[in-house]
Structure 1
Amino acid sequence: MTNEAQAAYSAPTRTDRGPRKAFDKPHLEPEALIVKLRGQGMVIDAKTALPYLRQIGGYRLKGYWYQWQDAETRRFRGHVHFDQVIRRYEFDRELRRITSDALERIELAVRTVMSNVLSRREGPHWFMKEDLFTWPQGWRHQTFLEKVRDEIDRVRKKPFIAHYRATYDSPEFPPSWVVSECLSFGSWTHAYKGLANGEYRKEISRRFGVEACAVFDTWLHAFAVLRNTVAHHGRLLGAQTSVTPGDYRKRGLSFNRRRTFFVTASVISYIGARLGYGRSWEGDLQSLMERFPDIPVELGLGFPPNWREQPGWASQSSIPRLAQ
């Protein structure tokens, strides 16, 4: 790793910005932005840079170059070329793609397991039973049902929703296995956390190899937030995660640098092994890193050099798969 790359992820964050003021920055066309970046010390070829600046925008790309800038002078430290920015952007875009695929598998499994377990125990409309939940302060069961109604209405023209409403006059909502096609991952996360019956919660979490329901709570929350991040094209490289999954020491999953992508990636790997695609997730990450060997994944994402030997990764073969 070059000194420039190290500096890009170890630069101090400027916290003392002085008094607030009115925003007065002018709009810059891509050509003007190139002139500005050159003046700040970046090596930039207009023919290469213009398509990226026009199609992606300088503000989004700034997330991949600002770490190289001095916080006071805004000049770039060392020899920084716009091609390096492109490499980071393309790496991050591909990382979002494979992460989205992995989280999609987890989300569908969570929906299915919750629907199957609770429908068998409480009937197809379990989510309508107020006494099945204990909501946090400020929430009411009606709040949850309003959320369900809104998300169903959003896809009301889908054939399966239109069919239910044309065929049945009660209950208001379709059965759980239909509703599962409508609700967001975040809504399922809230539903799991709100379940009052600890045995139901444990029966669900055990299907994913987790005995501690409180830990599984944090994992679902972290997955839902990361799912939203990648769905809205949020940056992963060099960014700290806002929500972190809890440690699961029973399986050796305990982390020091908690707010890194590596922590959630390790938990995805652990769950992925239960779902039967853990090695695919690991292989996709390894392949990506091999294609972009210049990307500092340890500083930018928290991956240690021996990441494949860490808990949740090397132990995959010993983790039983999810029962069908």
Structure 2
Amino acid sequence: MTDPTKIYQKPPKTTEQHIQQLASRGLCFNRSGKERALRYLSHIGYYRLSAYFIPFEESSQDNKRTHLFKSGTEFNHVLDLYIFDRKLRILVMEAIERIEVSIRANWSNALTLNKQSPHKQDAHAYMNPSLFKNPWQHQKNLSRVASDIADSEDQSVKHYKQTYLEPFLPPTWIMVETLTFGSLSQWFANTKSTAVKKAVTKAIGLPTIEITESVLQSLSLVRNICAHHGRLWNRQLVKQLPYIRKLKQYMVIEQIRTEKSEVQHQPSRKLFNFLVVINHLMNNIQPKTSWSQRLDELMATLPQSHHHELGIPQSWKGFVKQTAQLNTQN
């Protein structure tokens, strides 16, 4: 017999019922009005917005959610936090797009002009298994590319298929434009030539190939969160960034105790460290970018009481200042 406590029995609620529930839990609608709240909730969804209730709720001794709002909490406070996160997501996505495009271009150029390649200059270098470390991974990646290109409506791909019979796949600089960030990071990691990897690593301003591989994997996860309109604020990212000595005075390092009670120092998995790395990459790709300034301006709209949820240290002075200090050191 099924345990009744394991059966989901919560009935769905209308938006009006959710408003009533929030009011009964102490959320005020004085400035916004219930009609405005009703409109926002109907388009955002109660479940999506509920993650932003947490910092405004009363705490309990056992650290479980009370779902009761602190005195004076208004719907606008929650909505402002939601809007901040949406703006942050758009800004982060803009930067990751620039980073992704730069990596595509530099990897494609380095691979096709690779002096270590038997053909020296090879437009279809990505099809050559000898240029990659793991032949099984290469075959898997190549099969995925072939499948995507077969169904592609991209004009460059269609032109190639209509014009040429061999090779049956387009050149590297066309193929690379069909890759997702995650797939691109896999192709990069599996590339055999250190010269190719060093060229990309240098272009984006990172110190080692290993760090570049780790950063690409981490940013691909952030990119997916942004692409699916996920929450960046108050989130522990699944993938941890590597320790980057050049950015050590800016990244937040946490003390972690392992299962064997060993103490380790690792970069925090909250968003702030990712913003530090993204900012560094952006300033290497486009030194005169306004991204740092716009990020600082957005951060200034976030009340300091919410900074710790992004992992922002109290001593932080802004991304523009960080950029200026790094440029001075260089």
Counterpart residue number, 1:269: 279
User: Do residues 83 (structure 1) and 80 (structure 2) align?
Assistant: no
1:318 deviation in Å?
4.2
Query: Which residue does 1:229 correspond to in 2?
Result: 225
Q: Look up the match of 1:97.
A: 90
Give the aligned partner of residue 50 of structure 1. Answer: 38
TM-score (norm 2): 0.83
The number of residues matched between the two structures is 299
The SS at the match of 1:199 is: helix
Q: Which moved more, 1:170-179 or 1:18-27?
A: 18-27
What is the rounded CA distance, in whole Å, between the counterparts of 1:267 and 1:46 in structure 2?
41
- Show the counterpart of 2:127: 128
Distance 1:266 1:135 in 2: 32
**Residues 171 and 229 from structure 1, CA distance in 2 versus in 1: closer, same or farther, beyond 3 angstroms?**
same
* Structure-2 change in CA distance of 1:102 and 1:20 (3 Å): farther
Whole-Å separation in 2 of the counterparts to 1:20 and 1:145: 48
- The one-letter code matched in structure 2 to 1:172 is F
2:127 is the alignment partner of 1:142? no
1:11 is matched with none
1:225 CA displacement: 0.9
- How far apart, in 1, do the equivalents of 2:291 and 2:329 lie? 15
Q: 2:131–2:192: 8 Å Cα contact kept in structure 1?
A: yes
Q: Distance in 2 between matches of 1:91 and 1:214?
A: 34
State whether residues 266 and 313 of structure 1, in contact with CA within 8 Å, keep that contact through their aligned partners in structure 2: no
Alignment partner of 2:312 out of 280, 288, 303: 303
- Using the TM superposition, name which of 249-258 and 219-228 deviates more: 249-258
Q: Which residue number in structure 1 is paired with residue 162 of structure 2? A: 166
Residues 102 and 268 in structure 1, CA contact (< 8 A), matched pair in contact too: yes
Distance 2:238 2:4 in 1: 26
Q: 1:216 deviation in Å?
A: 0.8
Change (3 A) 1:86 1:278: farther
Gaps of 5+ in 1: 1-17
1:107 counterpart SS class: helix
Structure 2 residue identity aligned to 1:41:
G
The answer for the alignment partner of 1:260 in structure 2 is 270
Taking the aligned partners of 1:245 and 1:204, their CA distance within structure 2 comes to 18
- The yes-or-no answer on 1:313 pairing with 2:323 is yes
- CA drift of 1:218 comes to 1.0
Q: What one-letter code is carried by the residue in structure 2 that aligns with 1:204?
A: V
Q: Once the two structures are superposed, what CA deviation does each residue of 1:31-74 show, in whole Å capped at 9, x if it has no partner?
A: 00011111122113311211111111111101111343353542
CA contact (8 A) 1:96 1:236 kept: yes
Alpha carbons of structure 1 residues 319 and 103: separation in structure 2 relative to 1, 3 Å:
farther
Give TM-score scaled by structure 1 length.
Answer: 0.85
- CA separation of 1:282/1:132 partners in 2, compared to 1, >3 Å: closer, same or farther? same
Q: What is aligned with 1:37? A: 22
Gaps of 5+ in 2: 255-267
Distance 1:243 1:224 in 2: 10
Aligned partner of residue 173 in structure 2, secondary structure: helix
Whether the aligned pair in 2 keeps the contact of 1:308 and 1:314 (CA below 8 Å) is no
Q: Which amino acid aligns with 2:188?
A: Y
Task: Name 1:287's counterpart in structure 2.
Answer: 297
Moved more, 167-176 or 141-150: 141-150
Instruction: Name which of 151, 154, 164 aligns with 2:148.
Output: 151
Q: C-alpha distance in 1, partners of 2:71/2:84?
A: 22
Provide the C-alpha distance between the structure 1 equivalents of 2:194 and 2:130, rounded to a whole number of angstroms.
13
Deviates more, 1:108-117 or 1:32-41: 32-41
1:177-256 mapped onto 2 (5 Å cutoff): 177-252=173-248, 254-256=251-253
Distance 1:159 1:181 in 2: 12
Cα distance between partner residues in 2 of 1:73 and 1:61: 17
